[in-house]
């Protein structure tokens, strides 16, 4: 049995992957490779990761084109983010292993970090290579071995990654790929007794299932799940900058980004002005062929995702939100959705509470700062967020009140070394940087 992979811009089949019937051999291969890999010196593991990083860099254009073909990200985004980030993440782990990594001392104890063992990495389709490398690089750096199940929607970049891992000379069994649907292949991996840690990125519903399956063997789990992040614009902010950056953040990767600021919170006195700015900014997001450099919004990754987003647009209208921009024309072929901006959105309504995962921005009024914080914290999620103010100190004070894993103040840029992850329905555990590395370790205290 095999699974067809579609180009979402052309709706054509561009490849297929096997449906793995039994994940056992991959888990066994990872187990067999664990001892020798974890026994390597940090310098040797760093050299392997550097070799892989260099191969990714050498093949960056090819990988970007493949990711664009399998999930529709505009080529410019694919090159810069989808491939650029994994290269940066591999570099960060090479640096970490090459640096000091001093062992902690507490009184008469030395605190040692051992590898956890065999890691099952289950990843989504929206940043297929990045989500994989965000697990693979720290897991391997810490001495673990990995069995990876990519999304059935966009698995082709993982096949290419497997070739590059081999070409980089990593030992057999250190990285193992299984392809298939979430259920049964992903579920078999999550519930496998030979797996020591499941690192999952995907939807909240699947994350719950994975955690329940892993619980049977008390397997450790880390979950990077969905989000409904708020962009809080305080009244003294530079409105033009806050809206421009906010719309860009919401629409990055055609709105298929877990950290997207999909709720724009504005003081009621500035609502109409901000709606006009948002409509102007959103209108500049040209929809079209993702391989065209002028395109800013490619198709969504699948027909199911397009239909889901369109159903939320209908839901927003039914719930009384005002459509400030939307229903624009899109190419006849391909899973496209033109930019949508809703104004006067009720913070309790579905489009303000649930993850849509498309180019849909909801603008919400607040009365005062406490109201803004209450609304920002008023969803089950807590992944990212943003605060804008003329006073950095003031924005920082509000940022501290947000219940979320990350907050950007006045457009503070993405930091690939900062801990990344969420709370509540956005999951638990952290990726990237030293926190991401530690996620793949087990703490041992040795008393002297």
Q: What residues are annotated to the active site?
A: 224
Dist CA 23 CA 79 (whole Å): 32
What is the smallest separation between the CB atom of 87 and ligand NAD, expressed in angstroms?
18
What is the smallest separation between the CB atom of 192 and ligand NAD, expressed in angstroms?
11
Comparison of 46 and 73: residue with beta carbon closer to ligand NAD: 73
What is the smallest separation between the CB atom of 123 and ligand NAD, expressed in angstroms?
6
**Position of tokens 């020591």?**
196
Comparison of 262 and 441: residue with beta carbon closer to ligand NAD: 262
Comparison of 82 and 145: residue with beta carbon closer to ligand NAD: 82
Q: Which residues touch 241 (CB under 8 Å, ≥6 apart)?
A: 388, 410, 411
Dist CA 214 CA 208 (whole Å): 10
What is the smallest separation between the CB atom of 50 and ligand NAD, expressed in angstroms?
25
Comparison of 289 and 355: residue with beta carbon closer to ligand NAD: 355
Q: Which residues touch 410 (CB under 8 Å, ≥6 apart)?
A: 237, 241, 387, 388, 389, 392, 395
Can you state the percent helix, strand and coil of the chain, rounding each to 5? 45, 20, 35
Kindly tell me the burial class for residue 70, based on how many C-beta atoms sit within 10 Å of its own C-beta (0-12, 13-18, 19 or more). Answer: buried
Comparison of 143 and 385: residue with beta carbon closer to ligand NAD: 385
Q: Is the preceding peptide bond at 184 cis, omega within 30 degrees of 0?
A: yes
Dist CA 208 CA 447 (whole Å): 38
What is the smallest separation between the CB atom of 206 and ligand NAD, expressed in angstroms?
3
Nearest to 359 by CA among 73, 69, 66: 73
| 172 DSSP assignment | T
CB atoms inside a 10 Å sphere around CB 44: 12
What is the smallest separation between the CB atom of 259 and ligand NAD, expressed in angstroms?
7
**Position of tokens 């370790």?**
441
Q: Where do contacts with ligand NAD occur on this chain (CB under 6 A)?
A: 122-127, 131, 149-152, 181-183, 186-187, 190, 201-203, 206, 209-210, 224-227, 258, 355, 357, 383, 422
């Amino acid at each position: 049995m095999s699974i067809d992979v579609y180009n979402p811009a052309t709706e054509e089949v561009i490849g297929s992957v096997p449906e793995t019937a039994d994940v056992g051999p991959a888990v066994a291969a990872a187990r067999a490779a664990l001892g020798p890999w974890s026994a390597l010196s940090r310098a040797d593991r760093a050299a392997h990761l550097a070799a892989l990083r260099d191969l990714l860099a050498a093949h960056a254009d090819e990988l970007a084109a493949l990711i664009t073909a399998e999930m529709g990200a505009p080529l410019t985004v694919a090159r810069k983010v989808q491939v650029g980030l994994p290269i940066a993440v591999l570099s960060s782990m090479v640096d970490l292993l090459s640096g000091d990594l001093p062992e902690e001392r507490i009184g008469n104890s030395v605190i040692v970090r051992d590898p956890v063992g065999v890691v099952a990495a289950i990843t989504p389709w929206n940043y297929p290579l990045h989500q994989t490398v965000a697990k693979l690089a720290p897991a391997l750096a810490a001495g673990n071995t990995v069995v990876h199940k990519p999304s059935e929607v966009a698995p082709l970049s993982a096949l290419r990654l497997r070739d590059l891992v081999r070409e980089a000379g990593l030992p057999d069994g250190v990285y193992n790929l299984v392809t298939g649907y979430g259920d049964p292949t992903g579920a078999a991996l999550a519930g496998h007794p030979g797996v020591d840690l499941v690192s999952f990125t995907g939807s909240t519903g699947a994350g719950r299932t994975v955690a329940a399956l892993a619980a049977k063997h008390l397997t450790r789990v880390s979950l990077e799940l969905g989000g409904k992040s708020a962009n809080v614009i305080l009244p003294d902010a530079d409105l033009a900058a806050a809206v421009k950056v906010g719309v860009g953040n919401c629409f990055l990767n055609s709105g298929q980004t877990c950290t997207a600021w999909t709720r724009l919170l504005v003081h009621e006195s500035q609502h109409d002005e901000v709606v006009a700015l948002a409509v102007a900014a959103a209108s500049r997001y040209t929809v079209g062929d993702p391989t065209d450099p002028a395109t800013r919004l490619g198709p969504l990754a699948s027909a199911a995702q397009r239909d889901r987003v369109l159903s939320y647009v209908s839901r927003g209208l039914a719930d009384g939100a005002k459509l400030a921009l939307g229903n624009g024309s899109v190419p006849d072929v391909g899973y496209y959705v033109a930019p949508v901006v809703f104004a006067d959105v009720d913070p309790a309504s579905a489009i303000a509470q649930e993850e849509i995962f498309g180019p849909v921005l909801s603008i919400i009024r607040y009365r005062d700062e406490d109201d803004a914080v209450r609304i920002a914290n008023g969803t089950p999620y807590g992944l990212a967020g943003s605060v804008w103010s003329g006073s950095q100190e003031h924005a920082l004070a509000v940022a501290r009140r947000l219940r979320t894993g990350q907050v950007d103040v006045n457009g503070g840029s993405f930091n690939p070394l900062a801990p990344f992850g969420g709370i509540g329905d956005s999951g638990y555990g952290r990726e990237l940087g030293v926190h991401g590395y530690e996620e793949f370790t087990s703490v041992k205290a040795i008393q002297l």
